[in-house]
Amino acid sequence: MGNTRAWPVLRTTDLDEALNLAEKLLSVASWYDPSGCYLDAWAHSDDEVRRLTEALPDVQVSWYGKGNVGLPALLSVGADSIAQARESLGIWAGISRGYVLWHNMTWPAVPQLGLLNEEYKYAELQVAANSHTIHCEEWSAEHTVFVHARPGDDERPAWLAAQVGSRVVGPAEFGW
């Protein structure tokens, strides 16, 4: 049991740029399952819940208000492809803050850094829309791409980012 660490590798106001970088990072993965992807968005008003559920009708809603009823609400939906994740997050980003997370994947071994094994357990990739944090607690005008990896494997995210022309742009935060 353990938690990932999440390193930001891009902050941008252009959601397409963030999703393009995520797609490039997925191409560096040793393996990933395109359907191993889901999106979560937070709603803080009845209007946001209505707009988010109208935009993606297959969404599941979990209520987190007092007694597990009422606002805020977390809305979740799966995605079977990068294109579907891109479309869904694009719609939701215009309404609220949320993220897309690819979790069924493997980062490659990097022997030159002493990372001799592929990483499956802690390998994740995330694009947080309208947020600087993985949990999307606070709204931001920027979108953030996070590489999740094993705690202590601090060089892996930097290596992954460098493979796609990016770099780590901030400190790691505790993941899931």
Buried b / exposed e across 82-107, counting CB within 10 Å, b at 16+? bebbbebbebbbebbbbbbbbbebbb
Q: Torsions phi, psi of 155, nearest 5?
A: -80, -25
Domain boundaries, the chain: 5-170
Residue 170 has what pLDDT?
97
Q: How many CB atoms lie within 10 A of CB 69?
A: 9
* pLDDT score of 68: 83
Long-range contacts of 69-75 (CB under 8 A, 24+ apart): 71/43, 71/44, 71/45, 71/46, 72/42, 72/43, 72/44, 73/42, 73/43, 73/49, 74/40, 74/41, 74/42, 74/43, 75/40, 75/41, 75/42, 75/43, 75/49
**Radius of gyration over alpha carbons of the chain, in Å?**
16
The per-residue pLDDT for 95 is: 95
pLDDT block averages, 10 residues each, the chain of length 176: 90 98 97 93 94 93 89 95 94 96 97 96 98 95 98 96 98 94
Q: Is the dihedral of CA 3, 104, 92, 12 positive or negative?
A: positive
The residues facing 79 across adjacent strands are: 37
pTM value is 0.95
